[in-house]
Chain A
Amino acid sequence: MSDETIDQLQPQRASRIGVWAVMKAILKHKVSCVGVVIIILLSLMAIFAPLIAPHDPNEQDLYHVLENPSRKHLLGTDDVGRDLLSRVIYGSRISLLVGVAATIFAAVIGVILGLIAGYKGGMVDMVIMRITDTFMCIPGLILLLVMAAALGPGLHNIIIAISLIGWTGFARIIRGQVLMVRELPYIEAANAAGASGFRIMFRHLLPNSLAPIIVAGSITIGGVIMLESAAAFLGLGVQPPTPSWGKALRIGYSYLEVVPLFSIAPGLMITLAILAFNFLGDGLRDALDPRLRGQGKKIE
Chain B
Amino acid sequence: MSKLLEVKNLSTHFFTDDGLVKAVDNISYSLNEGETLGLVGESGCGKSVNALSLLRLIPNPPGKIVSGKVIFEDQNLLTLSEDDICRIRGNRMAMIFQEPMTSLNPVMTIGRQLMEPMEIHRQMTRGEIQERCLDLLKRVHIPEAPTRMNAYPHQFSGGMLQRAMIAMGLTCNPRLVIADEPTTALDVTIQAQLLELMKDLTREFGTALIIITHNLGIVARYADRVNVMYAGRIVEKSTAMDLYKNPRHPYTIGLMASVPRLDQDMKKKLKPIEGQPPDLIHLPSGCSFHPRCSYRVERCLNETPELKTVNENHEIACWVDVRT
Residues of chain A whose beta carbon lies under 8 Å from any beta carbon of chain B: 296-297, 299-300
Contacts and interface: CB of A to CB of B under 8 A. Distances in A.
Interface residues of B, number: 14
Contacts, number: 21
A89 B280 CA distance: 55
B171 interface: no
A296 B16 contact: yes
A299 B62 CA distance: 9
Contacts of A297: 16-18, 62
B115 interface: no
A296 B49 contact: no
B44 A300 contact: yes
B36 interface: no
Nearest to A297: B16
B181 to A, nearest CB: 10
Contacts of B287: none
B43 interface: yes
A126 B88 CA distance: 56
A156 B43 CA distance: 61
Contacts of B18: 297
16 contacts: A296-B16, A296-B17, A296-B61, A296-B62, A297-B16, A297-B17, A297-B18, A297-B62, A299-B14, A299-B21, A299-B49, A299-B63, A299-B280, A300-B23, A300-B43, A300-B49
A292 B92 CA distance: 38
B23 A299 contact: yes
Interface string B12-24: 0010111001010
B207 interface: no
A292 to B, nearest CB: 14
Contacts of A296: 16-17, 61-62
Nearest to B52: A300
Interface of B: 14, 16-18, 21, 23, 43-44, 48-49, 61-63, 280
A21 B280 CA distance: 25
Contacts of A300: 23, 43-44, 48-49
B279 to A, nearest CB: 12
A296 B21 CA distance: 13
Nearest to B62: A296
A296 B15 CA distance: 10
A299 B44 CA distance: 8
A299 B59 CA distance: 9
A299 B20 CA distance: 12
Given A297-B62, A299-B44, A300-B44, 17 more contacts: A296-B16, A296-B17, A296-B61, A296-B62, A297-B16, A297-B17, A299-B14, A299-B16, A299-B21, A299-B23, A299-B49, A299-B63, A299-B280, A300-B23, A300-B43, A300-B48, A300-B49
A84 to B, nearest CB: 47
A297 B14 CA distance: 9
B95 to A, nearest CB: 15
B182 to A, nearest CB: 16
A297 B21 CA distance: 10
Contacts of B49: 299-300
A300 B41 CA distance: 13
Nearest to B58: A299
A297 B20 CA distance: 11
Nearest to A295: B17
- A-B CB proximity, top 3 nearest: A297-B16, A300-B48, A300-B44
A289 B192 CA distance: 41
A297 B44 CA distance: 13
A245 B62 CA distance: 47
A207 B21 CA distance: 37
A70 B51 CA distance: 71
Contacts of B62: 296-297
A143 B49 CA distance: 55
Contacts of B21: 299
A299 B48 CA distance: 10
A300 B63 CA distance: 11
Nearest to B21: A299
B278 to A, nearest CB: 13
A297 B62 CA distance: 8
Contacts of B63: 299
A299 B21 CA distance: 9
- A296, A297, A299 — which one has the most chain B CB atoms within 10 A of its CB? A299
B276 to A, nearest CB: 16
Contacts of A299: 14, 16, 21, 23, 44, 49, 63, 280
A233 B21 CA distance: 56
A169 to B, nearest CB: 29
A66 to B, nearest CB: 55
A28 to B, nearest CB: 10
B47 to A, nearest CB: 9
B149 to A, nearest CB: 33
Contacts of B280: 299
A300 B14 CA distance: 11
A300 B51 CA distance: 11
Nearest to A294: B17
A23 B22 CA distance: 32
Contacts of B23: 299-300
A299 B22 CA distance: 11
Contacts of B16: 296-297, 299
Nearest to A296: B62
A50 B34 CA distance: 86
A300 B58 CA distance: 11
A175 to B, nearest CB: 27
